[in-house]
Amino acid sequence: MRDPYEVLGVARSADQNEIKRAFRKHAKKLHPDTNKDPKAQEKFAELNAAHELLSEPDTRAKFDRGEIDAEGKPRGFEGFGSGGFGGGPGGFRQARGGPNEAGFESFSFGPEGLRRNAGRGPGMGGAGPGGGGAGGFDDVLSDLLGGFARGRRAGPEAGGRDIEVTVPVPLETVVAGGTVKVGLNGRTIEVKVPPRVAEGYRLRLKGQGEPASIGAAAGDAYVVVAYAPHRTFKVEGPDLRADINVPLADAVLGAKVRVPTLDGSVHLSIPAWTSSGRTFRLRGKGLPKGETESGDLLATVRIALPETPDAELEALMLRRRDGAG
Q: Which residues neighbour 52 within 8 Å (Cβ) at sequence distance 6 or greater?
A: 204
Distance CA 314, CA 5 (A): 73
Q: Which residue has the higher pLDDT, 106 or 287?
A: 287
Angle, alpha carbons 20-26-32 (nearest 5°): 125
- Of 47-56, 158-167, 171-180, least confident by mean pLDDT is 158-167
pLDDT of residue 20: 85
- Report the greatest alpha carbon distance in the chain: 107
- What residue spans of the chain are helical by DSSP H? 4-8, 16-30, 40-55, 57-64, 99-102, 111-118, 137-145, 171-176, 248-253, 311-324
Residue 203 · residue 223 · CB < 8 Å: yes
Surface-to-core class of residue 39, CB atoms within 10 Å of its CB (0-12 exposed, 13-18 middle, 19+ buried):
exposed
User: How does residue 234 score in pLDDT terms, banded at 50, 70 and 90?
Assistant: very high
8: alpha, beta or left? (left if phi > 0; alpha if psi -120 to 50): alpha
Query: Cβ(274)–Cβ(254) under 8 Å?
Result: yes
Read off the pTM: 0.48
- Is residue 16 within 8 A of residue 55, CB to CB? The reply is yes
Count of C-beta atoms within a 10 Å radius of residue 242: 17
Q: How many CA atoms lie within 13 A of 207 on its CB side?
A: 2
Residues 6 or more apart whose Cβ sits within 8 Å of residue 195? 175, 176, 177
Q: How confident is the model over 130-146, as a mean pLDDT?
A: 37
**Residues ≥6 apart with Cβ < 8 Å to 223:** 164, 165, 166, 167, 182, 191, 202, 203, 205
Q: What are phi and psi of 242, to 5 degrees?
A: -150, 145
Q: What is the pLDDT of residues 94-115, one digit of tens each?
A: 333 333 333 333 333 333 343 3
How many Cα neighbours within 13 Å face the side chain of 82? 0
Nearest to 286 by CA among 266, 306, 302: 266
Which has more pLDDT, 254 or 133?
254
Average pLDDT over residues 258-278: 94
Q: In degrees, to the nearest 5, what angle opens at C-alpha 13 toward C-alphas 10 and 18?
A: 50
The model's pLDDT over 169-223, given as tens digits with 9 standing for 90+, comes to 999 999 999 999 988 877 888 999 999 998 899 999 988 888 877 777 888 889 9
**CA 222 to chain CA centroid, nearest Å:** 7
